[in-house]
A and B are shown apart, each in its own frame.
Chain A
């Protein structure tokens, strides 16, 4: 079937045109170094934002699953945060942060669109990841908590040593899934003027009337998302093949 598709594409009347517009070797070699160096911005942003998202998401999830009556206001705050930041398109958040915050002209607040856009990304993905962690925490049976308390741990120690290790293990696949999405969404920072790989490719394409730089950028994204997807498959495998799904 793949072969059939290839034949259909390569024999189509438009293929020579597409080939020169999207797959030009010259345009590729000309633009690639510039796009690659712009791609380092993507790499840096997602490495930093991923760490922030992990910490923020875990913190919000722990607060939202707490049972202490004194923490009720924080549970409400956590719920409002998740609702708001999951409910607004990420691209819009980046616009609002990147252009809105500098317009306030507040002292001591960063105005660099790269930083503000990254904060918007972290807040948006933090809300998704908080829900992933929360689902993981809620999936751990109450008896595990009781067992932790019964051996003399306090609530925090029970969370740390009994609940979270099991919860995090359980949600690793959806967590990595969100990270793959985040790695691609770094390209959205282009809307506030950050020249990362996608934006650089767009600039090159506009300058040369050739779309090959966009293909080069796509390949770079794949170079980081595919290993992540393989990792996801690897950690999602059953511990023991004999305990996998019945055939």
Chain B
């Protein structure tokens, strides 16, 4: 831990969040966040609902505008109004809690639409890549199905494949298992584990403490819009130094969630 607070950001990471603030009307959701996600690093954001995890991820993908501070991608400021948000989002993959697949397109079309239309890949190339990934993650026979014919776990796996198929610089995962039945959580986490093994850089908002400890290199604890503790996953989750982190984890244990 360096001086200047638990969060660290020095402009050397893939994603650097510098003193970011964000309010919705009167409600201050982020009150000065500093955080770096390094190359091949997975950082888990933990904290109660409403602590600002999702908002932070959405700010990084420019789905929300920051009020103050900066966010850097590969050392370049992306929160400046002159930056084309489309160019930034092409370099990032985002996976939503509720999957948000396109119901009018089949599985393969869902995966290839972004890469093809934004000019990142030729259709043929995108389809080959999509098929290869579907086959690899056990969805090879579902490429012509519409999303509503798939289970939640399958849909979320398709959403993950859609996000990382164009080889983004980093993946932003927003509570990707929170909308799933418990028995479907495993198959989605397995895919994230594989991505981590491949060296994908990830910022992961999650309620799954066991998963955070296993996959994340570092864990960042958010409460009330502030990062209260950032450190190696095992340290933060097993022996947190901040009383708020202990309280939060204690509540999870009582609820049988950790």
Contact = CB atoms under 8 A, between A and B. Distances in A.
A154 B86 contact: yes
Interface string B81-117: 0000110011011101010111110000000011101
Interface in B112-147: 113-115, 117-118, 120
Contacts of A161: 113, 117
Contacts of B96: 143, 146-147, 150
Interface string A135-160: 00000000110111111111001000
19 contacts: A143-B98, A144-B102, A146-B96, A146-B100, A147-B101, A148-B102, A148-B114, A149-B85, A151-B89, A151-B115, A151-B162, A151-B163, A152-B86, A152-B120, A153-B114, A153-B118, A161-B113, A162-B102, A166-B102
Nearest to B95: A150
B100 A144 contact: yes
Interface residues of A, number: 17
Most buried by A among B103, B104, B120: B104
B102 A147 contact: yes
A169 interface: yes
Contacts, number: 59
A153 B86 contact: yes
Interface of B: 61, 63, 85-86, 89-90, 92-94, 96, 98, 100-104, 113-115, 117-118, 120, 162-163, 166
A143 B100 contact: yes
A161 to B, nearest CB: 6
A148 to B, nearest CB: 8
A154 B62 CA distance: 12
A181 B93 CA distance: 47
A152 B169 CA distance: 13
Contacts of A149: 63, 85-86, 89
Contacts of B117: 152-153, 157, 161
Contact of A166 (B63, B98, B103): B103
B118 A150 contact: no
Nearest to A146: B63
Given A152-B118, A153-B114, A153-B118, A147 B100 contact: yes
